[in-house]
Chain A
Amino acid sequence: MNLFQVAWWNVRALRSRLLGLVAMVAVAGAVCLSAIGIASNAQGTTTSQVGESTANRSVTVDSPEGRPDTAQLTDATEKRLAKIAHVESVQHRLQVSMPVRDNPEGADLLYATTYRKALAPPVVKSVRKQLFPLHRGEVVFPASTHGVDLSSMVGRTVTVDAHRYVRPGVGDTVSDRVKVVGLYDPSWQFDGPDTAYADDATVVKWAAAAAGKTTDDYLRTSGWDQLTVVADSAAHVPGVLKAVQRMNYPANSLQQQLQALPGVLQLVSLTGNVLLGVLGVLAFVGAVTVTGALGRQRAQEVGILKAVGFRSRSVMGMLVAEMAIAGVVAAALGVVLAVGASSAAAAGLRRISDIAPYVRDTVPLPGTLTLISLSVATVVVVAAGAVLPARRAARMSPTEAMKDW
């Protein structure tokens, strides 16, 4: 019979003796795949959200306060900046203080900020899948601020006591009700600490009130406090930056940001790579040990096979094939276990607000190519570990091997 057929029969017949090796390699593989999967997914998330995102192609233009020769960041300025070569879009930001009267958690002063698509905060909890753009009267809080956990605020409506300018030295309060529709990762610091994102109309309304102007007048005279100029590619950022600065605006680029993963995810990544090495050693040593032990236990079987005409290399091939089959089973089992383990680990990591933005809501397995490569490598290492003991067993003389029968 074909030696692979015999090997398959043997694996099925001897499965209880191979169980230890299969379980060990499968569990090690599953942990390894989970760690690598989570880390690579987090890295992918970071890359897609920041590294290659509009953030990396952005130039931040601040309000030219104290420069009478430079126009404020009004809609007209926005249009001028949009005409610079290689500019994809210009997005505005306005920020105004937002005293929250009835915040039960005690964080009572936040800064209402308009949302920019180019610098979207990483949402960790929301009332709907597509949170932005916000509807009128909606706000997004940080998940925590000054050590206060705000996660219970989602879905609640709070009162904001906006300040209204009346005349120099005199003001009053304009109360508004806004609904907290989501939370973002508080490590997101592009717009400073204590930022609460709100819809444009609400923020402009409060800012205009604080300045004692109508909203139209405010936008025409005071304008936005910051504009984000997005270049069409990262390579064009320096040129766009220079063009903006030539227009006398204080500007800088944002080519920095979250290139590195948070510490825990760095650790997960490191663990995955260390485990990969451990898996290799375990698989190899396991295969050497199991094949050696089975070879000794099955010496008589080897003798019989050789007596009935199996060549030494066929016997060796059969023993190695058995281990390779065990390796295939272990790799497949490892992938199945990894689906469960990585899902559970990811679910746990998503509970940590600092890490949640990096862990997608999908099964965090490595890419198909990595998965196939690791599975094939597992099988190859297990089979390689079996070669020497299998060779030793296969070279026994049939009469010596059958002596005990």
Chain B
Amino acid sequence: MSTLLTASGIGKSYTLRGQRVDVLKDIDLAVAPGCVTALVGHSGSGKSTLMHILGLLTKPDTGRVELEGRDTHGLSDSALAELRRRRLGFVFQSYNLLPQHSALRNVLLPYTGRRREAEARARGLLERVGLGDRCEHRPNELSGGEQQRVALARALVNDPPLLLADEPTGNLDTESEALLLGLFREMADDGRGVLVVTHNQAVADAADVVHQLGRGAGLSAQDKTHGRSWARTGGSREGEL
């Protein structure tokens, strides 16, 4: 299977009160197109840090991230921003919509295509996520589930091959969660790669591949599409997983 995103040997540490804390250590991960990949782990396991590294928002201390076969190591901030804008779509736990703008404008913000096609595309995406009639509503006029779907529409506006979602269902009720997961499945069926960071078992159950991030930076994986059992990569700060 080809991969959209490949992370190899990823390590990240912080210094806290003079003591070095290895949040991630020697992590390998791949996200394939057409699959929903879940990255699960308990609080403090480094899920979000890994997500930020995979999303080119933070640079790892060690290791490399390849996006569509292109090594992102050493790229300038501008080049990374350009990759984020055109090749990645982000969905955050807290939606991260701009409160002063309507749903339509929030979707339009990162759009890089032709101006005259922009509004039609944004409206089309909002239709697709079931919010065609809420285009002019501001985030505070939408429910949490609706806001998250607006965020999903925004993530898709430049038609990126890879979608990254950080705890996307964390603030949603069951119904909204199911709706969103259905949309993620649609995105994967369109051929996109979808990487979801979650501690929600229902989300993990819906994924094709699940990576388990253990305390102290280790990573195990289960590929349900190929019936493989948990695989293990990386090490642990505590020497075990």
Contact = CB atoms under 8 A, between A and B. Distances in A.
B77 A308 contact: no
Contacts of B202: none
Contacts, number: 67
Interface string A323-357: 00000000000000000000000000000000000
B51 to A, nearest CB: 10
Nearest to B96: A304
Interface stretch (B19-27, B110-118, B128-136): B110-118
A399 B96 CA distance: 12
Interface in A151-188: none
A405 B94 contact: yes
A307 B96 contact: yes
Given A2-B115, A9-B105, A308 B78 contact: no
A9 B86 CA distance: 22
B52 A1 contact: no
B58 A308 contact: no
A312 B109 contact: no
B109 A308 contact: yes
B108 A1 contact: yes
Given A9-B105, A405-B92, A405-B96, A311 B52 contact: no
Given A2-B115, A399-B58, A405-B92, A304 B81 contact: no
B118 A1 contact: yes
Contacts of A307: 55, 57, 84, 90, 92, 96
Interface string B15-59: 000000000000000000000000000000000000010010110
A309 B115 contact: no
A308 B57 contact: no
Interface in A1-47: 1-2, 6, 9-10, 13-14
B201 interface: no
Nearest to B98: A301
Contacts of B101: 9, 13
B100 interface: yes
A312 B78 contact: yes
Interface residues of B, number: 32
A241 to B, nearest CB: 72
Contact of A312 (B77, B85, B88): B77
A152 to B, nearest CB: 62
A402 interface: yes
Highest count of chain A CB atoms <10 Å: which of B57, B58, B86, B97 = B57
Greatest chain B CB density within 10 A among A308, A310, A314, A402 is at A308
A305 interface: yes
A306 interface: yes
Contacts of B92: 307, 402, 405
A6 B81 CA distance: 17
A310 B90 CA distance: 13
A13 B86 CA distance: 27
Interface centre among A310, A311, A313, A405 (most CB of B within 10 A): A311
Contacts of A301: 98
B71 interface: no
Interface of B: 52, 55, 57-58, 77-78, 81-86, 88, 90, 92, 94, 96-98, 100-101, 105, 108-112, 115, 118, 154-155, 158
Given A307-B90, A402-B92, 8 more contacts: A1-B110, A1-B115, A1-B118, A305-B109, A306-B81, A307-B84, A307-B96, A308-B85
CB-based closest 5 A-B pairs? A309-B85, A13-B100, A308-B110, A309-B84, A311-B81
7 contacts: A304-B97, A305-B109, A307-B84, A308-B84, A308-B110, A309-B158, A314-B81
